[in-house]
Amino acid sequence: MENINFRIKKLFSEKRFNELVKLVEDKIDRSKQTSKFINIYAISKIFSLGVDTKNLVFVIKEFENSFNLKPLNEDSISAFIYFTNYSLNLFQVEKEQDIQNFCIDNFKKSINFFKKNESLLDRNKKILLLMIRIFTEFSDIKKIIYYFEKIIENKQDNPLNYCAYIQSNSYINNWDQTKFFENSVLINHKIKSIPKDHLVALNLKKNNKIRIAFLSSDLRLNHSVNYFIKSILQNYDKEKFEIVLFLNMPSELEDETTSELKQLVNQNYNINKLNDIDAINLIRNNKIDILIDIMGYTSSNRLALFKNKLAPIQVNWLGYTNTTGLKEMDYIIADPNLILPDEAKLYSENIIYLDKIWNAHCGFNFPRIKTIAPFKKNNYFTFGSFNNFTKINDEVVETWSKILINNKNSKLLLKSSSADFNEDLLNKFKTFNISNSVKFIPRTKTFEDHINYYNQIDIALDTFPYNGVTTSFEAIWMGVPVITMSGFNFNSRCGESINKNIGMKSLIAEDDKHYVDIAVNLGTNKNYLNNIRKKIFNVAPNSPLFNKEEFSKNFLKIIYNLKKN
């Protein structure tokens, strides 16, 4: 046996994984082995057979056997990390229901194992980040914030973790804008400045045309930012402007959407594999006049690049609806409905106010068909929200439950782009005894199938304090009114700005009770609702929400003046 163990270690160190797997499966009873042995075998199995679904399921089960062995030690903890990480990765890529259920069961096992051993594991940053990923899949924002605070308490955070922590607090009414600002300015101290002698000089000379650049990790698939940035890319004066895209995503993830956007601009570069110094120098060498960040704290952001100044003028727009806290981020683009004049001190950037709305949707390439309100054929009333489940916090659940209780014979349709069903969310509705009125719609295979589900909704319900921007634009495009809540900062007032720009101030609630009252009134006053639906359907295409030509003209006028002044 000692000879076999020696051979296994040698094969593993020499990365001869196929031979190792064959030796173990032919000669050894794995049920009597240590965690370390099982880990070596499972890792070799991955390198030997790859990460197809069948092999991953097998390997995950091996890691489960490993971390359940006594006593708890470094090897069993490693097995637990592998088990959880591979379960999360499998859940992300494999949508077959049996596999999804397998992964969800594994998440629960991970949570139980962590709770049982929390005193030993709660300083392990890898494990805390895995807990955050699990509770992100469960849309449990309080747990997400809790584990971020553990990382911060352990002094293990980095700028990306801290950005995610700040953004997570946007989902609940926990902080006011002062708290967001105070935490955001700390990013300045967490991101290191790169020595100037490592960087090429910023270009301060005048270009023949104003060179604008956008930096994003999300210009692919049906990501929401594409519908808004396209409004500009399809409608800019090529005699005055040149536009460059900097993509920060693996090149293998680029798709038809990416290609379409590339064709609308002068140049594009993928900086995903570049370190900060090389990325900064590439961008500076492109002599950009104004660089617009459309990620902020979201996605795979590259705030460290902006901290070290990519262009003479840097702007925060679209992807993150709050302050970045960076001294080097010169401007944030908003509108008069989003940041009040006396609140400007709570944003580190100078505020640029667009006249009407801070962004505009490019619309969709299929005919709009006016449909009758669903209640006329259903004989019941249908509310709906297609926002990500993380935005549906406890206060939102309680408010929506009161709406269902007060609107007899009504239903609530929930649909998310990130999950088909959320058991924890359903259980929250169960506490109000209305779970039978809540229906989850699975993710659709095509975008057109998704958008047509709005034809099943009488009234859309917006989330708060984190409003649903893209989903509100979608609902309004389809002629569905949206009830929203008034807010206290940029992020929580997006719904207000949308409804004001469609002429629907009456659908902006002042508080939870008012929100319920508006919904009950619409649910009982059917003629009033019909008139609102007709009005929204008729005015939407030419409203500031979808007038991409007018929006682009105003947006680029401001950009032009920034450079000239």
Q: What's the CA gap between 398 and 463, in Å, rounded?
A: 12
Q: What is the model's pLDDT at position 2?
A: 65
Angle at 55 (CA atoms; ends 36, 35), nearest 5 degrees: 10
Q: What's the CA gap between 299 and 217, in Å, rounded?
A: 7
Measuring CA to CA, how many Å separate 263 from each of 259, 268, 488, 547, 556?
6, 9, 39, 22, 19
List all residues 6 or more positions away from 74 whose beta carbon is below 8 Å from its beta carbon.
none
State the average pLDDT over residues 552-564. 95
- Is the pLDDT confidence value at 30 over 80? no
Joined tokens for residue 87: 């379960």
**Confidence grade of residue 1 (pLDDT, cut at 50, 70, 90):** low
pLDDT tens, position by position, 332-382:
999 999 999 999 999 999 999 999 999 999 999 888 999 999 999 998 999
pLDDT tens, position by position, 441-456:
999 989 999 999 999 9
* Spatial contact of 318 and 228, defined as CB atoms under 8 Å apart: yes
Average pLDDT, the chain: 96
H or E segment and range at residue 114: helix 97-116
H or E segment and range at residue 230: helix 225-233
Q: What's the CA gap between 422 and 426, in Å, rounded?
A: 6
- Per the DSSP assignment, residues forming a β-bridge with 242 are 211
H or E segment and range at residue 428: helix 423-430
State the average pLDDT over residues 461-487. 98
**Confidence grade of residue 64 (pLDDT, cut at 50, 70, 90):** very high
- Is the pLDDT confidence value at 31 over 80? no
| Residue keyed to tokens 């489940």 | 389
pLDDT tens, position by position, 92-117:
999 899 999 999 999 999 999 999 99
User: Whole-prediction pTM value?
Assistant: 0.95
Q: What is the model's pLDDT at position 4?
A: 85
- Is the pLDDT confidence value at 436 over 60? yes
Task: Supply the DSSP string of 241-290, one letter for each residue.
Answer: EEEEEEE-S-GGG--HHHHHHHTTSSEEEE-TTS-HHHHHHHHHHTT-SE
**Confidence grade of residue 420 (pLDDT, cut at 50, 70, 90):** confident
* Spatial contact of 473 and 498, defined as CB atoms under 8 Å apart: yes
Q: What is the model's pLDDT at position 73?
A: 96
pLDDT above 70 covers a percentage of the chain that reads 100
Q: What is the model's pLDDT at position 358?
A: 98
Reported residue count of the chain is 565
Joined tokens for residue 404: 């269902």
**Confidence grade of residue 564 (pLDDT, cut at 50, 70, 90):** confident
- Is the pLDDT confidence value at 155 over 60? yes
State the average pLDDT over residues 207-211. 95
State the average pLDDT over residues 144-163. 96
pLDDT tens, position by position, 116-139:
999 999 999 999 999 999 999 999
Angle at 224 (CA atoms; ends 211, 249), nearest 5 degrees: 65
- Is the pLDDT confidence value at 303 over 80? yes
Select from 480, 478, 405 the least CA-distant residue to 437: 405
- Is the pLDDT confidence value at 5 over 90? no
Q: What's the CA gap between 479 and 456, in Å, rounded?
A: 11
